[in-house]
Structure 1
């Protein structure tokens, strides 16, 4: 699978057989339910059009530091391809799609965590975005906490995390604080004034840390 992916420049050009292989890989990772109707799971080539839609929405991209502007098809192709490569190599994703399962699994956001070593802390160890119509429901804090717990902390053994948010983006700040991050200071980064946060966990912290509990899906969706 890794060699197959390395030969590809665009996931959009994959054959039906290759996409079927990726779907099987996707299905091997158990999604996490953050509400009875919303779950997090790996990105797929079929998410390309929704990525292009949302990452060109000013309500989303104006709160993000990383994605290129405008967000072009080649950006979406490359991003999905690297996420699939990670899944094929390690069996779990660092970036998950957030999906509304009442709408057929439609992509409505994404959440990213890190498995980088604690002695090489640079930039952001988390990232996230959510479709504007889903704001204000607490979805992102739940998704971020679950991903940190299951992928970064349990699987990768990571204990130190950095995060940033645009100054004035109180929704993002609340998301980070609900996920356990502590505000540090204001900093100048990439020409922007942003808030800096961190989360450094000791074994004692982990022993008393509130466990992120998955939701129970609606019977019609399980």
Structure 2
């Protein structure tokens, strides 16, 4: 029977699926969101957990519907929380990385932006014309170690491209955030420059950098 969870590994003790980062970051894994944690606001955990649970439920159902394959496309990754596994087997949340349908922040005309968002949202999982955006955060205690670069690379190559049909991804960083830009550039994103769509964060106007990645079909 085709395992529709491929290439996820399964924790033998908890049954939780995960992806493990490659060397030298083998102690870092990507897992589904978990409820009952205090690291984030409850409503946010509930939202992302529902998306993860729905994706996992669909994949498990697909194992029965498509026992001989092919692997089914999904619209999200069931694993997104970045956790560091300690020597005693426990783990701690240190970050998050995820795909979502693009908000088209780089489109300055609000009417056109909304039209693009709506058209993009209607497309079926696996549609190669979907524009995705990738978001991420990492605890300051773990900056500068290459963890996020590896996590984004793993999520894209192990899940995004083969299981979501991802072909076009954008990322947005705040102007001047050289560290974040380098993380994306190391994963093949091109820096498309600055844009200002009037975005404000906590009352402060923010100019953004657009980074863009498109799959080289010759490398599939």
TM range (shorter): 0.5 to 0.7
Give distance in 2, aligned partners of 1:87 and 1:145.
21
- Kindly indicate whether structure 1 or structure 2 has the higher relative contact order, using CA contacts under 8 Å at least 6 residues apart: 1
Q: Which consecutive unaligned segments of at least 5 residues does structure 1 have?
A: 1-22, 53-71, 208-222
Instruction: Find 1:107's aligned residue among 67, 74, 93.
Output: 93
Q: Does 1:159 align with 2:128?
A: no
Q: Does 1:201 align with 2:215?
A: yes
In the superposition, relative to structure 1, how do residues 118 and 137 fare at CA in structure 2: closer, same or farther (>3 Å)? same
Q: Which runs of 4+ in 1 moved over 3 A?
A: 114-118
Q: Is the 8 A contact 1:165 1:195 kept in 2?
A: yes
Q: Is the 8 A contact 1:94 1:113 kept in 2?
A: no
Shift of 1:30: 4.1
Instruction: Find 2:141's aligned residue among 133, 138, 146.
Output: 133
In the superposition, relative to structure 1, how do residues 75 and 158 fare at CA in structure 2: closer, same or farther (>3 Å)? closer
In the superposition, relative to structure 1, how do residues 94 and 193 fare at CA in structure 2: closer, same or farther (>3 Å)? farther
Q: Does 1:96 align with 2:80?
A: yes
Q: Which moved more, 1:131-140 or 1:31-40?
A: 31-40
State the Cα RMSD in Å: 2.5
Greater fraction of residues in strand = 2
Q: Which consecutive unaligned segments of at least 5 residues does structure 2 have?
A: 1-10, 61-75, 101-124, 201-205
Greater fraction of residues in helix = 1
- Number of matched pairs: 160
2:118 corresponds in structure 1 to: none
Q: Is the 8 A contact 1:44 1:80 kept in 2?
A: yes
1:119 corresponds in structure 2 to: 129
For the residue of structure 1 that corresponds to 2:80, the secondary structure is strand
Shift of 1:158: 1.8
Give distance in 1, aligned partners of 2:45 and 2:16.
23
Shift of 1:116: 6.6
2:179 corresponds in structure 1 to: 171
In the superposition, relative to structure 1, how do residues 108 and 139 fare at CA in structure 2: closer, same or farther (>3 Å)? same
Q: Is the 8 A contact 1:95 1:110 kept in 2?
A: no
Give distance in 2, aligned partners of 1:90 and 1:162.
26
Give distance in 1, aligned partners of 2:17 and 2:26.
18
Give distance in 1, aligned partners of 2:79 and 2:156.
11
The CA deviation string for residues 116-157 of structure 1, in whole angstroms up to 9 with x for no partner, is: 744242xx5211111110111110010000000111111122
Q: Does 1:37 align with 2:16?
A: no
Shift of 1:81: 2.5
